[in-house]
Amino acid sequence: MPLVPPPPLPGWLQAAMPLRRGAYELSTGPDAGRHLHFVDEGEAKGDEPTVVMLHGNPTWSFLWRKVIHALPRRRCVAPDLLGLGLSSKPTRIADHSVDRHADAITELLDALGLDRVVLVGQDWGGALLPSIGARRPDRVAGVVLANTSVLVPQRPRGTAFHRFARLPVISDLVFRGLGLPQSALWAVQGDRSLLTGTAARAYRWPLRRRGDRIAPLALARMVPDGPDHPSVPALRRGEQWIRGFTGPMALVWGTADPILGRALARHERAFPRAPVTVTGAGHFLQEQVPKALAAAIEDVLERAEPRPPA
Where do the domains of the chain lie, and which CATH numbers do they carry?
Answer: 3-303 (3.40.50.1820)
Mean pLDDT of 64-88: 98
CB atoms within 10 A of CB 130: 29
User: What is the structure's pLDDT at 83?
Assistant: 98
Whether the pLDDT of residue 307 is over 90: the answer is: no
Whether the pLDDT of residue 303 is over 90: the answer is: yes
Q: What is the mean pLDDT of the chain?
A: 96
User: What is the structure's pLDDT at 158?
Assistant: 84
Q: Which band of pLDDT confidence, cut at 50, 70 and 90, is reported for residue 309?
A: low
In our burial notation (b when 16+ CB lie closer than 10 A, e otherwise), range 269-287 reads: eebeebeebebebbbbbbb
Mean pLDDT of 157-183: 94
Q: Active-site positions? A: 123, 257, 283
User: What is the structure's pLDDT at 310?
Assistant: 57
Which residues are bridge partners to 215 per DSSP? none
**What is the tens place of the pLDDT at every residue in 43-69?**
988 889 999 999 999 999 999 999 999
Residue type at 281 in one-letter notation: A
Helix H segments across the chain?
11-16, 65-69, 98-111, 124-135, 160-164, 170-172, 197-204, 214-222, 232-243, 264-270, 285-288, 290-303
Distance between CA atoms of 165 and 175, rounded to whole angstroms? 8
- pTM, rounded to two decimals: 0.97
Whether the pLDDT of residue 88 is over 70: the answer is: yes
Mean pLDDT of 151-169: 92
φ, ψ for residue 99 (rounded to 5)? -65, -40
User: What is the structure's pLDDT at 46?
Assistant: 87
Mean pLDDT of 199-205: 98
Share of the chain above pLDDT 90, in %: 94
